[in-house]
Amino acid sequence: MTDIKKLINTLHPLERKVLPVLNSYKTLPEIVSATGLKEVEVMRALQWLENKKIVKISTELKEVVSLDKNGQKYAKNGLPERLFVNALKKRELSISRLEKLTKLSKDELNSCLGILRKKAMVLIIKNKELKVKLTDEGLKRVKKDFLEEKFLKKSFPLDIKSLEPEEQLALQNLKKRKNIVRIEMQKLKHVKLLSKGKDILAQGLGDDKIVDVLKPELLRSGEWRNKNFRRYDVSINVPKVWPGKKQTYRLFLDDVRRKFQALGFVEMAGPLVESEFWNMDALYMPQFHSARDIHDALYVKEPKRAKLDEALVKRVKASHENGFNTDSRGWNYEFDVARTHRLVLRSQGTACSARMLASDNLSIPGKYFAIARCFRKDVVDATHNADFYQVEGIVVEENLNLRHLFGLLKTFAKEFAGAEEIKLVPGYFPFTEPSVELFAKHPEMGWIELGGAGIFRPELVRPLTGKKLSVIAWGIGIDRIAMFKLGINDIRHLFSHDLEFLRNQKVVSCRQ
């Protein structure tokens, strides 16, 4: 296919309507009236044609004259002086009579008189009453259009430069009168056919063979075989659409969930509103622990009291007070049973682990994880959220030791931070002994604190399970990695309500 033929096939229906008239018409208003299209449609078509180097559009600044309010009225109904002479005919009439016949205003009547007298067309006779009559000159001139009338009959807007001397004169006269003409600077678009355009018109547009939309009828009839499909400009921008998409942080947590399942972990869940029992006491956190006071945990107004397994409460109470049957001396204080029933917003995901340990569904061996929504009484800022996710869990077996714990943490460092190198530092948690903090060398972020872990104290495990089990407990600080991967530096943006941000978040990125 020749280039010209290809080009012809790209032409849009609008372009096809505009192009043929360009041989005869050059200016925008002309083209609009010749094609019968709307001005915006013509402009769009011309723009496309120009992009394809078929036409050249040039813009000229021109002084143009157009009709004002009275000018439009007079063009339609006739100039006042014409109405005046038409009413007068060959008679001699008084001004008041003329006023009735013409329905002109006083002002208009006066200006008519002035104009007609200047042209020596009327004579004023002063008698008892003022009367008017046409002169001979007047009688001659009424047979022809006045210069001004001719002028009003032209199509506006008009290029002032294109006016004949007589028209210039008429314009000068009309300009002196009220609201008849308006003179403005206007941009006038000129369109010039380029050689490609001429070639196209020489070849013919082949409108009967071109198809814009492939319709079912064309397929059914097989007619499509005889058609050319309009070629599109596939390189131009198209309007944006936004897909339905999962939230960026949840997508990340979905990956975390899948990863744990792949590692053989089963997901646990628990209620958002916990008793102090499950949230803290069952975890062997003493009731005087600083994380439990009203400055750190969020307590619930109503109801006042949680329903608990009181036999279990009794065992946990004993564990706090004297170590239960674990050879421990316990925390050695008086355990408040009323307080353990108090309701609190879950402040740590470990509450889910406590519930799992006490559950009949606990499998041994078993690996468990939770992605738990937790709440703390924190001042919310770029690094603290009052409402956040915690990822934590347990591994339960008959005989686990510190080496297994370290082995697990090494796996986590590799799986969640891509880290080959780890550092294990003694840590402190009220519910584990030994306790350790995990640092991992992330390939891009460098050394990060990835989590805390330990082996649950016997004072915790025995009252909940009734068995001598070893339970590894761990928690991973997933938010820092999430923020890094999602490219955000304010923790609150994990829960962003910024639609533009969410729409633009990548689901596939180089930061894996």
Partner 1 sequence: MPTINISLKDLNNLVGKKISEKDLPDLLAYAKAELSGIEGDDVSVQFNDTNLPYLWCVEGLAILFKGVLGKEKGIPDIKIEKGDYKIIADRSVRSVRPFISAFVAKGGKIDEFFLKQVIQLQEKFCENFGRRREKVAIGVYPSRKISFPVYYKAVPPKSVRFVPLEFTKEMTLAEILEEHPKGKEFAWILENTKKYPLLSDSNKEILSFPPIINSHTMGKLDLEDNELFFEATGTDAEGVNLAANIFAHVLSMRGFSIHSVKISYVGKNVITPDICVEKHKLDTDKVSSLLGIELKDSEIKKLLEMARFNFKSGNVEIPCFRNDIMHSVDVIEDIGIMYGFGNVEPLPLTAYTIGGTFDLQKKVDKLRDIAVGLEYQEILSPILTSREVLVERMNLKRALDLVEIDNPMSAGFSVLRSWLLPGLMDVLMHNKHVDFPQKIFEQGLVSVRRNDTITDEERIAGISSHVGVSFTKARQAVDAILKACDVVAVYQDMEHSSFISGRVAQVVINDKPVGFVGEIHPAVLTSWGLDMPAAGFELNLSELFKIIK
Give residues 258-287 in contact with partner 1 (rule: CB under 8 A): 260-269, 271-273
Helical spans, DSSP H, in 23-67: 28-35, 39-51
The 190-229 contact track toward partner 1, x by CB under 8 A, reads: ----------------------------------------
399 binds partner 1 (CB under 8 A): yes
Which C-beta is closer to partner 1: that of 138 or that of 452?
A: 452
232 binds partner 1 (CB under 8 A): no
The DSSP annotation for 89-102 comes to: TTS-EEHHHHHHHH
Tokens 């975390």 correspond to what residue? 256
When the beta carbons of 180 and 455 are compared against partner 1, the nearer one is 455
Nearest-approach distance from CB 442 to partner 1, in angstroms:
19
Does residue 404 belong to the site contacting partner 1 (CB under 8 A)? yes
Among 122, 123, 175, 121, residue whose Cα is nearest residue 148:
175
Q: How many CA atoms lie within 13 A of 368 on its CB side?
A: 28
Of the listed pieces 14-22, 97-105, 214-222, 452-460, which binds partner 1 according to CB under 8 A? 452-460
Instruction: For the segment 359-398, give every residue that binds partner 1 (CB under 8 A).
Output: 363, 365-367, 373, 375, 377-380, 385-387, 395, 397
Minimum Å gap between C-beta 504 and partner 1 is 11
Q: Does 406 bind partner 1 (CB under 8 A)?
A: yes
| CA distance linking residue 435 with residue 117, whole number of Å | 115
Here the tokens at position 489 are 């530096």
305-334: contacts with partner 1 (CB under 8 A):
323, 326-332
* Residue (of 312, 257, 81) closest to 174 by Cα position: 81
Size of the site for partner 1 (CB under 8 A): 93
> Per-residue x/- mask for partner 1, residues 468 to 497, rule CB under 8 A?
--------------------------xx-x
Task: Quote the tokens at residue 287.
Answer: 């009731």
Kindly tell me which residue out of 207, 254, 309, 420 binds partner 1, with binding defined by CB under 8 A. 254
Site string for partner 1, 409-438 (x = CB under 8 A): xxx-----------xxxxxx----xxxxx-
Residue 122, H or E segment: strand 122-126
According to the binding rule CB under 8 A, does residue 3 interact with partner 1?
Answer: no
Bridging pattern class, strands 366-375 and 266-267: parallel
Residue 459 CA neighbour count, 13 Å, CB half: 23
Among 472, 473, 465, 471, smallest CA distance to 324 is for: 465
3-state DSSP assignment of residue 28: helix
What's the closest the beta carbon of residue 353 comes to partner 1, in angstroms?
15
Residue 370 Cα to chain centre, angstroms: 35
Instruction: Indicate whether 143 belongs to the interface with partner 1 (CB under 8 A).
Output: no
Say whether residue 447 binds partner 1 (CB under 8 A). Answer: no
